[in-house]
């Protein structure tokens, strides 16, 4: 079956289309590179990718305004790039370097840039739902036209924190957007074993009265358009919003996971028709972008990754003497 191009999406401008392509490419090529480094034994810990979900990360990341805040998970590398992270920042975090966003204290996708409005990932599912709701509460208290956004997967809908956060967001009517990464698996557990009603948008609207819509999570233009509209509704005082983005996780949960639990053929078929990077490339071709330009964009992304990698490899490793530094912002005994 041939690749399905992204839907036409005339409301998405040409600069935005190119930026979305840059973002999904960066995520795809970065993750390919870091996975190769991991297989070579050059990355401690593990590697988590968002292969198949890049359109959600890029679309939602680009939908935010400059003063908005976001708490990404580990499938949303493109969102970090949209918010200003460099490839060197991310490599440094994977390598555990002293100058990584977490000073070598956390690894892989567990990083943020709190001062730039990106909260560092917390592994426990659901924790970020009340957290971004509280950030949005601060915006509402201050009368600021800012929006907070987080991502959550199907697994998070089995966690009480998610319910509490959605409920608080609805009761308080704060400017927050929840983007659901519906990728069909929570680690190895298929969605049907997480919940009975797998229509999460319906549950969010029916259960918490938060407006929610479904979008094709492999179509970067559609995700961007839909999340942008949700962000603007939230910004304009219409309370919390949700978008359920449907996709497939094309890799295992992490590098060690060969995802033997996924039915044979499912991912191949998905890759053939719905790979989000190829879908957007196909749309850009239909838009009239020539193959040469598309190849140049790929080469530019690859070069950005190579430069970041070289920079990160030169970065200093952390000094064990500093482990106890920074436990407190104000240490009680100096």
Partner 1 sequence: MSTGHLEAPSAPAGATPAGEITYLEAIRAALQDAMREDDRVFLLGEDIGVFGGAFGVTAGLLDEFGEARVMDTPISEEGFVGAAIGAAWMGERPVVELQFADFITCAFDPIVTVAAKTHWRSGQAIPITIRCPTGGGVRGGPFHAGSPEGWFVGTAGLKIVCPGTVSDAYGLLRAAIEDPDPVLYFEHKRLYRTLRAAQPSPEHRTPIGPAAIARAGTDATVVTYGSGVTTALAAAERVDADVEIVDLRTIWPLDEETILASVEKTSRVLVLQEASRSTGAAGAILSLLARRSFEHLDAPPALHAPPDTPVPFAPELEDAYMPSAASTLAALDRLLAY
Distance CA 150, CA 251 (A): 22
In the bound state with partner 1, the residue whose beta carbon lies nearer, of 4 and 161, is 161
148 belongs to the binding site for partner 1 (CB under 8 A): yes
124 belongs to the binding site for partner 1 (CB under 8 A): yes
Query: What is the rounded radius of gyration, in angstroms, for the C-alpha atoms of the chain?
Result: 19
- Of 139, 151, 157, 208, the residue at the interface with partner 1 (CB under 8 A) is 139
- Residue numbers 53-112 binding partner 1 by CB under 8 A: 69, 101-103, 105-106, 110-112
Strands (E), the chain: 69-71, 148-153, 176-182, 185-186, 189-190, 212-216, 241-246
Paired with 185 in beta bridges are 190
* Residue that has been written with the tokens 């989000």 in this structure: 276
Stretch that binds partner 1, among 27-35, 81-89, 125-133, 253-261 (CB under 8 A): 125-133
User: How many other C-beta atoms are found inside a 10 Å radius of the C-beta of residue 223?
Assistant: 32
Give the three-state DSSP class for 320: helix
In the bound state with partner 1, the residue whose beta carbon lies nearer, of 138 and 317, is 138
User: How many other C-beta atoms are found inside a 10 Å radius of the C-beta of residue 86?
Assistant: 15
Paired with 70 in beta bridges are 118, 149
237 belongs to the binding site for partner 1 (CB under 8 A): no
326 belongs to the binding site for partner 1 (CB under 8 A): yes
CB of residue 113 vs partner 1: minimum separation in angstroms? 8
In the bound state with partner 1, the residue whose beta carbon lies nearer, of 45 and 190, is 45
CB of residue 80 vs partner 1: minimum separation in angstroms? 13
Stretch that binds partner 1, among 10-18, 39-47, 116-124, 274-282 (CB under 8 A): 116-124
Distance CA 134, CA 169 (A): 8
In the bound state with partner 1, the residue whose beta carbon lies nearer, of 13 and 84, is 84
171 belongs to the binding site for partner 1 (CB under 8 A): yes
Cβ pair 279, 24 in contact under 8 A: no
317 belongs to the binding site for partner 1 (CB under 8 A): no
CA distances (Å), origin 61, targets 260, 319, 333: 31, 34, 41
Taking the alpha carbons at both ends of the chain, their separation in whole angstroms is 65
122 belongs to the binding site for partner 1 (CB under 8 A): yes
Residues that bind partner 1 (CB under 8 A): 69, 101-103, 105-106, 110-112, 114-115, 119-120, 122, 124, 127, 129-139, 141, 148, 160-161, 164-165, 167-168, 171, 326-330, 332-333
């Amino acid at each position: 079956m041939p690749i399905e191009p992204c839907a036409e999406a005339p409301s998405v401008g040409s600069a935005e289309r190119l930026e979305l392509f840059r973002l999904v490419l960066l995520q795809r090529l970065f993750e390919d590179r870091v996975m190769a480094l991991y297989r070579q034994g050059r990355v401690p810990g593990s590697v988590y990718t968002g292969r198949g979900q890049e359109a959600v990360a890029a679309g939602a990341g680009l939908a935010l305004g400059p003063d908005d805040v976001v708490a990404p998970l580990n499938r949303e590398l493109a969102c970090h790039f949209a918010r200003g992270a460099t490839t060197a920042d991310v490599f440094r975090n994977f390598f555990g370097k002293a100058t990584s966003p977490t000073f070598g204290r956390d690894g892989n996708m567990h990083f943020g840039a709190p001062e730039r409005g990106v909260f560092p990932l917390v592994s426990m599912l659901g924790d970020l739902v009340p957290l971004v709701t509280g950030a949005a509460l601060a915006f509402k208290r201050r009368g600021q036209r800012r929006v907070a956004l987080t991502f959550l997967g199907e697994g998070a809908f089995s966690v009480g924190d998610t319910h509490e956060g959605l409920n608080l967001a609805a009761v308080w009517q704060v400017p927050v957007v929840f983007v659901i990464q519906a990728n069909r698996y929570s680690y190895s557990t298929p969605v049907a074993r997480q919940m009975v009603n797998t229509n999460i948008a319906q549950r969010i609207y029916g259960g918490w009265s938060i407006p929610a819509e479904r979008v094709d999570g492999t179509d970067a233009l559609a995700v961007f358009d839909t999340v942008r509209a949700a962000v603007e509704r939230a910004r304009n005082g219409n309370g919390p919003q949700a978008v359920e983005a449907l996709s497939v996780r094309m890799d295992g949960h992490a590098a060690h996971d060969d995802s033997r639990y996924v039915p044979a053929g499912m991912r191949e078929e998905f890759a053939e028709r719905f790979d989000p990077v190829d879908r957007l490339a196909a749309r850009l071709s239909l838009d009239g972008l020539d193959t040469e330009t598309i190849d140049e964009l790929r080469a530019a992304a690859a070069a950005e990754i190579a430069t970041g990698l070289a920079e990160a490899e030169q970065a200093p490793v952390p000094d064990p003497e500093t482990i106890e530094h920074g436990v407190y912002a104000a240490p009680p005994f100096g």
